Amino acid sequence: MKYRIEYKHNIKDFEDVWYIEKDYLKPSTIATIEQVIKWDNKNNDIHIFVRDLEKDKIVGEITLLPLSEEQFNSFMNNTLEDTEINEDTLLEYKPNENYYLLYSAMAIDKKYRNDRIVLSLLLKGFYDKINSLKNRNIDFLNMCAEGQTPDGQKFAESFLDLKYKNNTKEGYKLYSFNNKKEFDEWLIRLPKYIESYNNKFSIKF
């Protein structure tokens, strides 16, 4: 296969991701390479990348940050941004603990936007990562996200099925589920969503 889902990363991978995000977002809203590396050193379960094996570069990414209840409420009230989370305030996963999940970023290299398999692999990587954490007795009470672009807002509302809750001072939209039950039910449906997406674009593995 041309692509591979990866959960362990090096400095060059994070550089690839920063340049991917820069094509979509204002640099001031993107975590620096140094900051992301510090995140990864403290909690290496937060990044899901897709690599183009032929060109040996990262072409798609998802970043998932665990939040405390206080951090979740601050984010939803627009008093905490993901870039303000540092290595001291980033949580580490511990068995038998509950967390809130921030769907902090998802981006695909613009040259690969039309290669639908990249998004399919990212979503599979997301689903597998959440289940691997659940298998370690780590659970999630809710998930939230910020939609900065029209595409990001559409993805949050349609595919992630998140509910619009608030605006940031910049005019971006904030989303979450209403409760844990909605999140758990969506996670159960996710494999069907991915299967439907694959069938729509004739993606086969």
Query: What backbone phi and psi angles, to 5 degrees, belong to 133?
Result: -70, -40
Q: Which residues contact 184 (CB under 8 A, 6 or more apart)?
A: none
Q: What pLDDT, on the 0 to 100 scale, is given for residue 26?
A: 87
Beta partners for residue 137, in sequence order:
none
Q: Which residues contact 115 (CB under 8 A, 6 or more apart)?
A: none
In the structure encoding, which two tokens stand for residue 154, read together?
């559409």
Q: How many CB atoms lie within 10 A of CB 16?
A: 23
Q: What pLDDT, on the 0 to 100 scale, is given for residue 78?
A: 95
Q: Which residues contact 85 (CB under 8 A, 6 or more apart)?
A: 39, 65, 71
Q: What pLDDT, on the 0 to 100 scale, is given for residue 83?
A: 94
DSSP-derived secondary structure letter, 29? G
Beta pairing class for 57-67 and 47-52: antiparallel
How many residues would you count in the chain?
Answer: 205
Q: What pLDDT, on the 0 to 100 scale, is given for residue 109?
A: 98
Q: What is the pTM of this model?
A: 0.95
- Residuewise pLDDT in 10s, the chain (205 residues): 899 999 999 999 999 999 999 999 988 899 999 999 999 999 999 999 999 999 999 999 999 999 999 999 999 999 999 999 999 999 999 999 999 999 999 999 999 999 999 999 999 999 999 999 999 999 999 999 999 999 999 999 999 999 999 999 999 999 999 999 999 999 999 999 999 999 999 999 8
Q: What pLDDT, on the 0 to 100 scale, is given for residue 205?
A: 82
Q: What pLDDT, on the 0 to 100 scale, is given for residue 1?
A: 82
Q: What gap in Å lies between CA 57 and CA 26, rounded to an integer?
A: 22
